[in-house]
Structure 1
Amino acid sequence: MKTLDKTTLRVLLRQVRRKLAAEAPDAAARAAERLPLDRLPAFRTFSGYQPTGSEMDPRPLMRRLCETGAAAALPVAERRDAPLAFRVWDPDQALEPDAFGIPAPPPGAAAVLPDLVIAPLLAFDRRGQRLGQGAGHYDRTLANLRAVQSVFVLGLAYSGQEVEELPAEPHDERLDAILTETDYIEVG
């Protein structure tokens, strides 16, 4: 697959991810159990995401990370052309659609800068390259976060989303580790 362009890869990998999600409905819970908390850098605030389509559901992992005492946040698209913002997530508070219609904490929720970000993806490789949906929101957001503080980015995926090598562009932000239902992969 490494010779295909990103647009073609996205079409193929969305199909792969849908199949993986259907075949492994318990994958998110297995991934959450597999995370070696002692191998993560110290963090006070983390961000998950609201899964869309066949993205692996991060909520079991988010519940586990909340048990460490860290504050939870979710990304929010305040405008379609801007990097994502992060707001504190309260599981008892109703979410509201953001600029893309994805459920997010309401405008009154406190804004935060997470030092651990769980990132959804279509594919990953062992170099830490991530293929996202294609709009560049996570790349812009991670670049902005990394410009002001240390941020550990954990890709969450089905093991079958791994590819040998993804095409990389200068603006692509790398993952620091990948968590799947079968493995925790640290990127060197």
Structure 2
Amino acid sequence: MTEPLPSKAQLRRSLRARRVELSRADPDAARRAADVLPLEDLPAFASFAGYYALGAELDPSPLIRRLSDLGGLFALPVCEGPDTPLIFRLWDDRDRPVPDAMGVPAPPPHAPEVHPDLVIVPLVGFDRRGGRLGQGGGHYDRTLEALRAHKPVFALGLAFAGQEVPDLDLEPHDQRLDAILTENGYIPVERP
């Protein structure tokens, strides 16, 4: 008899605990991930978005520095409400971050809004088909859907290699990643 698949909530709990263990065991993973990114595999971009790492999320700072060196404008997400897509505002390190609607540090309201060409996406779990398990609020699914309705947007998942799962059960609204970057390498996603 086969074991029933865990629910998304159960899988999320398990992967969050794993992510905490991975972050404690490998504090240098974020730098190694940034170092192994093959820049030639990325599409051209004028602007890109990162995220403010919360808890044990893999810190995107080394990757952001590497991408900034290419000359792209850097933005951070801003949540304006629980069921809305994120918006992105340019980040100027002279500004003081302000908490957004979810309490996450974000650029202030006067920062210009941009529609990034490349989005570094945090995650709880991923599979090699570009499936992503997020925090459960649907913010990045709504955001990527809204951005992709206007232009191509490359979604780069950033995670510890140990956050990989064999196969995520995706729903129609789930937005796939275009690639995943871990401390062990770059995983391009083949489109069906």
Task: Give the TM-score range, shorter chain.
Answer: over 0.9
**1:80 CA drift (Å):** 2.1
Aligned residue in 1 for 2:150: 148
Contiguous gaps of at least 5 residues in structure 1: none
1:114 maps onto 2:116 in alignment: yes
Taking the aligned partners of 2:14 and 2:180, their CA distance within structure 1 comes to 21
Q: What does 1:171-182 align with in structure 2 at a 5 Å threshold?
A: 171-182=173-184
Task: Output the TM-score relative to the length of structure 2.
Answer: 0.96
Aligned residues: 188
Contiguous gaps of at least 5 residues in structure 2: none
Taking the aligned partners of 1:123 and 1:111, their CA distance within structure 2 comes to 29
Taking the aligned partners of 2:56 and 2:92, their CA distance within structure 1 comes to 24
**1:13/1:122 contact within 8 Å kept:** yes
SS, match of residue 154 in structure 1: strand
Which consecutive segments of 4 or more residues in structure 1 shift more than 4 A?
none
Q: What does 1:55-66 align with in structure 2 at a 5 Å threshold?
A: 55-66=57-68
Q: What does 1:1-150 align with in structure 2 at a 5 Å threshold?
A: 3-150=5-152
| RMSD, matched Cα | 1.1
The amino acid that maps onto 1:9 is L
**1:10/1:133 contact within 8 Å kept:** yes
Relative to structure 1, the CA distance from residue 80 to residue 26 in structure 2 (aligned partners, 3 Å threshold; closer, same or farther) is: same
**1:184 CA drift (Å):** 0.2
**1:91 CA drift (Å):** 2.2
Task: Output the TM-score relative to the length of structure 1.
Answer: 0.98
SS, match of residue 148 in structure 1: coil
